[in-house]
Amino acid sequence: MSTPSDLPLHRLIASLLVVRASGFLADHQRRYPRWELPNGELRMLLEQGLGGVILLGGSAAEVALRCRQLQDWAARPLLLCADVEEGVGQRFEGASWLVPPLALGRLYRHDPGQALDLAQRYGRCCGRDARRLGLNWLLAPVCDVNNNPANPVINVRAFAEEPAAAAALATAFIRGARATGVLTCAKHFPGHGDTSSDSHLELPVLPHSRSRLEAVELPPFAAAIAAGVSSVMTAHLMLPALDPERPATLSGAVLRQLLRSELGFEGLVVTDALVMEAIAGRYGAGEAAVLALEAGADLVLMPADASAALAAIAAAVASGRLSRSELERSADRRNQALAVLAADPVQPDPLAAAQPDTDLIAALLRASLERRGGQLPGGADRATATGLNLIRLDDCLSAPFLPADAPALAMPWRRGFSPCLLDRHGPSPWSGDQQTPLALERLGAGPVLLQLFIRGNPFRGSAGGGEPWAAAVQQLLAADRLAGLAVYGSPYLWEELRQLLPDRLPAAYSPGQMPAAQRTVLESLGLAPAPGQGDSPTDGSAPDAQPVDGGAQRGPAT
């Protein structure tokens, strides 16, 4: 491999960019063409010396082929990464899809030993699955402390709500992942956990003092650095106590002074995606890339326009605004990371890519399940029963956890609960009355199984709050119609609602939303599948799930 000082300037600059690409092989399969480069442009950039690629979408087997393709196009070692905070199966179908990290923080409170063991297995699973696909860099763990339940973007992605627990669990994850030979990334520095807005949509402000940052936000990052984390990702947020003018991603006070000088981090510093509105809405694609490098970042992730970023960086070097020697130091850090990988190079294996760790998935689901009350009544004939399976989710059209044969649909259907989906795009289920918020006349008669898929997610703008589910539960109880409750995702909603329930009413919570979590929850409520029956509520004998009034994509996150 050529040393950075030997490279022509354009190749040196290109080595510091990481662009977004689809995990699918063909251009027409791209699901986010605004952000995912077409193959022709991607191949040209790789041939020019591009430093890395972040992938999203596709089956595990197809991504393994895609990683081989990208490495062949580059003809030199690449950083290949993905946001796999909740297991590789969160992004790529067929690999292990795990419960969100915050599940381990709740477990840590009463069984820290089990939580730490599971966190290390979690990291090892992510690393192993990544290697099978050809990925060599995990954009995980999240080291933010989610001490704000209303946080719309971090939320259950964090390991804990307390600094010590977040530090212990994140470092256990790092130990597990490092043992598989992949790189890790602590994010989002210096801490995105106590924000009430989403940096994908706007620029959050964290107004805390330096002493507060040292007490809450910084300890997990310091622990990750001590544990040998390979890289640190910046946060797109304002911290007036550190820099009143620039967001952390573009701040020398945050990156050079705090991260490098004070915390002693010597590895790779990578920006969060520069296409996020917190940056893209305020700076041009080229200027944002220059400011990030000027502040001390080594790698520019997902510039809004890769060509514009390359040109702007070259112009900044020519004018003396950026020094070539600084860029060479960043390229050296990238080469050092690649040298670690060279000792045990990743070999994509399409045949082995889709082999989920079912033992770990089950162990995490069992350990994080919370259950109260009795069981749902049995014996209903689905041909004549009139129960209602009322399912709330963010978006029926973008719910990878709810395919047609999802347990949340199929298992209640066999017990006589017909599915009815509520989402933010469909007709409103709300009456406008704060005391009786559900328009029950629109939902029909019969007992109601209420299933709530609510959690913080990037681009949603909220953590699922703002809907009167507490009043709705009380309304259903008063009408003697609530048969059972299942909450998937938000522990905060579960804590609020469980206090309202009669002792014997069947209710359960899982931090996971994927089909395996649904099955675990519903089996705990007494909805075990009948032997020999299919799982689909749309198998020809049942109507399609309807939105109220009759009327799967794994989304991007960094």
Q: What is the pLDDT of residues 323-382, one digit of tens each?
A: 999 999 999 999 999 999 988 988 899 989 999 999 999 999 999 999 999 999 865 555
Taking only the tens place, the pLDDT of each residue in 472-508 is 999 999 999 999 999 999 999 999 999 999 999 999 9
Per-residue pLDDT reduced to its tens digit, 90-114: 999 999 999 999 999 999 999 999 9
3-class SS string, 239-276:
ECCCECCCCHHHCHHHHHHHHHHHCCCCCEEECCCCCC
> What is the reported pLDDT for 304?
92
Give the pLDDT band of residue 458 (cuts 50, 70, 90).
low
Q: Which of 200, 208, 357, 394 is catalytic?
A: 200
Altogether, the residues listed in the chain come to a count of 558
Two tokens at 203?
């620029």
Q: Choose which CATH entry (3.40.50.2000, 3.20.20.300, 3.20.20.70, 3.40.50.720) describes domain 9-346.
A: 3.20.20.300
Alpha-carbon distances of 397 from 10, 394, 406, 455, 543, rounded to whole Å: 42, 9, 14, 17, 18
Output b/e per residue, 261-293; b: 16+ Cβ within 10 A.
eebebebbbbbbbbbbebbbeebebbbbbbbbb
Q: Cα dihedral sign for 53, 58, 63, 66?
A: negative
Q: How does pLDDT run across 129-187, given as a tens digit for each residue?
A: 999 999 999 999 999 999 988 888 899 999 999 999 999 999 999 999 999 999 999 99
Q: Can you tell me the distance from the alpha carbon of 247 to that of 269, in angstroms, rounded to the nearest whole number?
A: 15
Residues of the chain with CATH 3.40.50.10870: 369-550
Give the closest residue to 136 by CA, choosing from 51, 57, 59. 51
Q: Is 200 a catalytic residue?
A: yes
Q: Residue 449: pLDDT above 60?
A: yes
Distance of CA 315 to the CA centre of its chain: 35
pLDDT band at 417 (very low <50, low <70, confident <90, very high): very high
Percentage of residues in the chain having pLDDT higher than 90: 75
Average pLDDT score over residue span 433-456: 89
Helix or strand (DSSP H, E) at 418? strand 417-422
Q: pTM score > 0.85 for this model?
A: yes
| Residues 318, 320, 323: CA angle, nearest 5 degrees | 95
Bridge pairing between strands 370-372 and 300-301: unpaired
For CATH 3.20.20.300, list the domain ranges present in the chain.
9-346
When pLDDT is cut at 50, 70 and 90, the band that residue 385 belongs to is low
User: Which of 14, 77, 21, 82 lies closest to 50 in space, CA to CA?
Assistant: 14
272 is catalytic: yes
Please compute the mean of the pLDDT values over residues 405-419 and round it to a whole number. Answer: 94
Kindly provide the b/e burial profile for residues 215-228, where b requires at least 16 CB atoms within 10 angstroms of the residue's own CB: ebbbbbbbbbbebe
Return the SS3 of 285. Answer: helix
Provide CATH code, domain 369-550: 3.40.50.10870
Q: What pairs with residue 422 in β-bridges?
A: 392
The Cα 135–Cα 63 span in angstroms is: 9
552 versus 467: the higher-pLDDT residue is 467
Spot the catalytic one: 194, 272, 298, 394.
272
Q: CA 534, CA 296: separation in Å to the nearest integer?
A: 56
